[in-house]
Amino acid sequence: MKTRITELLGIEYPIIQGGMAWVAEYHLAAAVSEAGGLGIIGAGGAPASFVREQIQKTKELTEKPFGVNVMLMNPEADDIARVIAEEGVSVVTTGAGNPGKYLAAWKDAGIRVIPVVASVALARMMERAGVDAVIAEGMESGGHIGSATTMTLVPQVVDAVDIPVVAAGGIADGRGFAAAMMLGAEAVQMGTRFVVAKESVVHENYKKKILAAKDIDSEVTGMSHGHPVRQIRNNMTREYLKLEKAGAAFEELEQLTLGALRKAVVEGDTVNGTLMAGQIAGLVKEEMSCAEIIQEIMQKAQTLLKLQ
Ligand code: TUI
């Protein structure tokens, strides 16, 4: 399937893997790229040296294009941005901020830049700044979210910009993929479905939580201090939301979340860890390889899209 995104990135299928902190490491990124999508290394809150190592390890596993996601709230984002330019990665996606100050260096290094936007205003600003495409991410997503839904955000961003738009948030199968295309997207980004991929190194307990999740099993914490994070309900979210409701200070709430994503992903602590996942977790019922996931989605989507 050809779109402006497959042409821009030199990939076979218009499926991009989300740049999930801790989860999106080199095994997963290489597997998605090998399967014909775009694998992404999630720099998350990691130091620049770790990101360089991850890039090098991915290159050992695949010769296909892959990307790195820069989480712009990372205090080491400047160093990570430099490492990415030095290592000659083909694509950068960004999240949780405005990547404007890195654009010139990345473009000079020949890198395709695709920021995540949660509003039409930022999409327009990014297009003017010269990015190659944008990812319009709805609040159905796991992790740090904006306030618009995928269904409303994607077509409004599509109408507002001329560059290609990638849809993200709430997409995990061929129906979601086809729906995103109907909204005008030219690719999708998926996170939650890839967390439970066979090649994902996430702790078994985390995967089981996603596989067992129902439609309304996620909560959004951190709304009160402007950093909303979607995750599966557990002891940690109950505690957090209770404190948040009682008006707890940001510093106190931060104590609960410090290192909690690592706890869930690496240690499999599903009680006090942060189990980031999107609202579509209820649809993810089986652990499959990245190639099986991508093939299943493309086959279903092609059948659906031929119908109209
Ligand atoms: O960034 C994400 N999702 C994330 S980042 C993350 S890191 C983390 N957070 C808490 C605990 C541990 C780790 C987890 N999930 N998605 C992309 C995204 N970007 N969603 C929303 C945005 C966004 C929002 C506002 C992007 C830009 C923006 O405005 C920037 C501006 O300056 O106008």
Has residue 208 been placed in a domain?
no
Measured CA to CA, the distance from residue 260 to residue 296 in angstroms comes to 33
188 and 251 part of one domain: no
CB 255 within 8 A of CB 239: no
Asked if pLDDT for residue 56 goes beyond 80, the answer is: yes
Has residue 160 been placed in a domain?
yes
Number of domains in the chain: 2
Domain containing 108 — which CATH number? Answer: 3.20.20.70
Index of the ligand 1 atom closest to the CA of residue 261:
12
24 and 152 part of one domain: yes
- The best mutation among 73, 101, 116, 195 to test binding of ligand 1, ranked by most ligand atoms within 8 Å of the C-beta, falls on 116
Model confidence over 233-262: pLDDT tens digits? 999 999 999 999 999 999 999 888 989 999
Say how many Å lie between the CA of residue 25 and the centre of ligand 1: 18
258 and 130 part of one domain: no
Model confidence over 120-162: pLDDT tens digits? 999 999 999 999 999 999 999 999 999 999 999 999 999 999 9
74 and 162 part of one domain: yes
95 and 230 part of one domain: no
Q: What is the pLDDT of residue 88?
A: 87
Of the chain, the percentage scoring pLDDT greater than 70 comes to 99
Residue 227 lies in domain: 214-276
195 and 66 part of one domain: yes
Has residue 272 been placed in a domain?
yes
Q: What is the pLDDT of residue 278?
A: 98
Mean pLDDT value of segment 267-289:
98
144 and 185 part of one domain: yes
Mean pLDDT of the chain: 97
Has residue 206 been placed in a domain?
no
Asked if pLDDT for residue 307 goes beyond 90, the answer is: no
175 and 111 part of one domain: yes
Of the chain, the percentage scoring pLDDT greater than 90 comes to 96
Nearest alpha carbon to residue 170 among 155, 151, 198, 197:
151
Closest residue by Cα to atom 12, ligand 1, is: 261
- One-letter amino acid at 216 equals I
290 and 247 part of one domain: no
186 and 259 part of one domain: no
219 and 244 part of one domain: yes
Measured CA to CA, the distance from residue 164 to residue 180 in angstroms comes to 13
Name the E strands within the chain.
15-17, 39-42, 66-71, 91-95, 112-117, 134-137, 143-144, 165-168, 187-190, 218-221, 229-232
Say how many Å lie between the CA of residue 94 and the centre of ligand 1: 8
Mean pLDDT value of segment 31-46:
98
Say how many Å lie between the CA of residue 51 and the centre of ligand 1: 18
- Provide the whole-model pTM: 0.98
265 and 300 part of one domain: no
Spatial neighbors of 53 by CB under 8 A, at least 6 apart, are none
